[in-house]
Amino acid sequence: MTVAASGRRAVVTGAAGFIGSHLCERLVADGWRVLGVDSFTDSYARHDKEDNLLPVAGEPRFALLEADLVGDSWRSALRPGDVVFHLAAQPGVRGSFGASFARYARDNVVATQRVFEAAHEAGCRRVVWASSSSVYGEAPEYPCRESAPTRPRSPYGVTKRACEDLARVYGGKGVTLVGLRYFTVYGPRQRPDMALRRLCEAVLTRATFAVYGDGFQSRDFTFVTDACDATVRAGLVSDPEPVYNVGGGAEATLAQTVEIVERLAGARLDVARTAPVHGDVRRTAADTSAARRSLGWRPAVDLETGLAAELAWVRESTASRRVA
């Protein structure tokens, strides 16, 4: 479903990333003028991030600014009335322990505080920003509502929880802030550290797939175009809530995703069980009634269709890397 938005201007931070690049594509297709901002951190290969932007490269309504949100060089690019979609961050639960936490604190907490202040000072209309299901930790009941207690189990989740606190500080100062708690987003261009991407690569290259823990941990998987649809709606709807769960409703265990990918690829996987990851929760499942009611959003892509799309993309991008 297309949400009309002709003439609007969006600033998308993290534009070269997985979700950000799909969001830029969607906004341009809907008629927005889009400025993408990204510093191309070394969280994964720069050429992968450049490839993510190929679908919008050359679009007259898209421009890219390479800038670090923690610095000031990008702030003058904000205009009164802009909608800022703030997706830039250092994501990932596993890497957030140890010395690398400094980077999470910088690219998540400090960068988000800069974005909220800059948007306020420039007179932007709204900031829709990426929180995470990681703020919940182990929820007392499932599916969990936005009102459930937030008790993150990883340093990454703590940074997103801190951003939610920042949103409470800066919200209501002229600019509307809307946080989206994304639940495990997947699909083409998924980050290389994420389980479904590694799973697709392993089945196609006959490599061993490392399963952390017993494989029965489950996730509420959200296809990337569904996540983008909720994000665009959150940028447009009147009187939004301060925070929404964005979960695809496709809950599955890792073992079930292995079975689906094996069936789609027509090949068996060599699975190696390894120790559970510190900070990983046993289950995620979103109650999305607030997003359905207030944003008019509902996920459209089921897990099998979404995994087929991701597998096809991994196959194609692996083949083109071999040719290059």
Q: Which residues does the annotation mark as catalytic?
A: 156
Instruction: Report residue 134 CA to chain centroid gap.
Output: 12
Using CB under 6 A as the binding rule, the residues of this chain from 203 to 242 that contact ligand NAD are: none
Reduce the DSSP state of residue 102 to 3 states and report it: helix
Q: Which of 62, 104, 136, 182 is the binder for ligand NAD (CB under 6 A)?
A: 182
Annotate 189-200 with DSSP letters as a single string.
Answer: T--TTSHHHHHH
Q: What is d(CA 83, CA 124) in angstroms, rounded to the nearest whole number? A: 6
Which residue, 121 or 270, is less far from ligand NAD as judged by CB?
A: 121
Residue 38 in contact with residue 16, Cβ under 8 Å? yes
Using CB under 6 A as the binding rule, the residues of this chain from 58 to 117 that contact ligand NAD are: 68-70, 87-91, 107, 111
Binding status of residue 19 toward ligand NAD by CB under 6 A: yes
Q: Cβ of residue 268: shortest distance to ligand NAD, in angstroms?
A: 27
Counted residue by residue, the chain has a size of 324
Which residue, 176 or 284, is less far from ligand NAD as judged by CB?
A: 284
Chain residue whose CB lies nearest ligand NAD: 17
Q: Cβ of residue 87: shortest distance to ligand NAD, in angstroms?
A: 4
Residue 138 vs residues 151, 209, 287: alpha-carbon distances, Å: 7, 26, 15
Q: Which two tokens mark 20?
A: 């950000």
Q: What is d(CA 71, CA 181) in angstroms, rounded to the nearest whole number? A: 26
Instruction: Count Cβ atoms within 10 A of the Cβ of residue 51 and give its class: 0-12 exposed, 13-18 middle, 19 or more buried.
Output: middle
Which residue, 130 or 232, is less far from ligand NAD as judged by CB?
A: 130
Q: Which two tokens mark 228?
A: 């983008």
Binding status of residue 303 toward ligand NAD by CB under 6 A: no
The count of chain residues that interact with ligand NAD, using the rule CB under 6 A, is: 29
Q: Cβ of residue 267: shortest distance to ligand NAD, in angstroms?
A: 25
Which residue, 138 or 206, is less far from ligand NAD as judged by CB?
A: 138
The residues binding ligand NAD (CB under 6 A) are 13-14, 16-20, 38-41, 43, 49, 68-70, 87-91, 107, 111, 130, 132, 182, 184-185, 191
